[in-house]
């Protein structure tokens, strides 16, 4: 079983060398929005896992393959990373911006730890244009969000297809099915008790205490500086009271912006690079421990 401990010290240069034993506090941030900088790092003390952890690449080339919609999960084109045999699967649910290089890299990282990872195009191409948002007025932004939430991003409408994806993977013979969700994806993961493990990275307000009450398996919650503290802490407080509460993880990234592991990841920044790597080490250690 992997264990999570807090450590101090270390450096980003150690991270770039792939030395996971030296993950520590990053240099102080001068800009609250430029990534990480303060805080305590979580490191995996199961060094067999750390040794197998692939280096993070700034310019990433996907290592998996695609299933077209007719062969993918629930009629969705699906990115699959499945090196080697495994009886454990992870659903990887992107954020509102859809697929990006970080989606493929994150999925491939988790696959390298012994899982078959499936990233379905659950929005079927109907993503939010994150580059467009800064150009819109406040009223236009509200209208754009409302349209998305009524369409591809309708959580209630997507819950049953997501449950069917889990059932489809179990029918393939997987003994365990977990999920890692980012932003919108984190919300749907938090709302789905059928999973065996729940990873939620910079999720939204639906990842709350009410959702936690219905969950029956361990959770890993990694919020950013932009998530509501009371909501996130309330979710984790409920999970900690459950019989498996000691396996539930909460780690704040209070100097990282929402989206730092997905569409808004900045791997060219040392702080963004370090935060991305740290989050996936925490997530991988969590799945090793519970899945």
Q: What tens digit of pLDDT does each residue of 108-132 get?
A: 999 999 999 999 999 999 999 988 9
**Model confidence at 52, in pLDDT bands (50, 70, 90)?**
low
Specify the pTM. Answer: 0.83
Residues 6+ apart with CB under 8 A from 195: 91, 166, 177, 178, 179, 189, 217
d(CA 197, CA 30): 36
251 within 8 A of 283, measured Cβ to Cβ: no
Centre a 10 Å sphere on the Cβ of residue 234 and count the other Cβ atoms it contains: 17
Sign of the C-alpha dihedral, residues 117, 123, 129, 134? negative
**Domains (range + CATH), the chain:** 63-264 (3.40.50.1820)
Residues 6+ apart with CB under 8 A from 19: none
> What is the tens place of the pLDDT at every residue in 77-97?
999 999 889 999 999 999 999
């Amino acid at each position: 079983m992997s264990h999570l401990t807090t450590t101090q010290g270390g450096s980003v240069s150690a991270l770039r060398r792939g030395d996971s034993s030296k993950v520590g506090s990053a240099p102080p941030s001068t800009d609250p929005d430029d990534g990480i900088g303060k805080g305590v790092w979580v490191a995996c003390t199961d060094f067999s896992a750390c040794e197998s952890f692939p280096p993070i690449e700034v310019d990433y080339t996907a290592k998996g393959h695609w299933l077209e919609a007719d062969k993918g999960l629930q009629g969705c084109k699906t990115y699959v990373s499945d090196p080697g045999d495994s009886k454990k699967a992870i659903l990887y649910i992107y954020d509102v911006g859809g697929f990006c290089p970080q989606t493929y890299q994150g999925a491939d990282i988790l696959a390298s730890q012994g899982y078959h990872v499936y990233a379905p195009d659950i929005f079927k191409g109907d993503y939010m244009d994150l580059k467009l948002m800064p150009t819109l007025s406040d009223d236009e932004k509200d209208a754009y969000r409302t349209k998305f939430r009524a369409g591809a991003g309708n959580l209630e409408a997507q819950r049953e297809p997501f449950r069917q994806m889990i059932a489809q993977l179990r029918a393939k013979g997987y003994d365990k099915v977990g999920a890692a969700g980012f932003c919108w994806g984190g919300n749907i993961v938090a709302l789905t008790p059928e999973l065996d493990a729940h990873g939620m990275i910079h999720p939204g307000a639906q990842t709350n205490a009410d959702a936690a009450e219905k969950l029956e398996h361990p959770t890993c919650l990694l919020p950013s500086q932009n998530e509501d503290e009371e909501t996130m802490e309330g979710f984790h407080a409920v999970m900690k009271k459950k019989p498996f509460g000691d396996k539930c993880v909460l780690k704040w990234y209070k100097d990282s912006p929402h989206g730092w592991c997905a569409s808004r990841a900045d791997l060219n920044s040392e702080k963004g690079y370090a935060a991305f790597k740290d989050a996936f080490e925490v997530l991988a250690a969590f799945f090793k421990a519970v899945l």
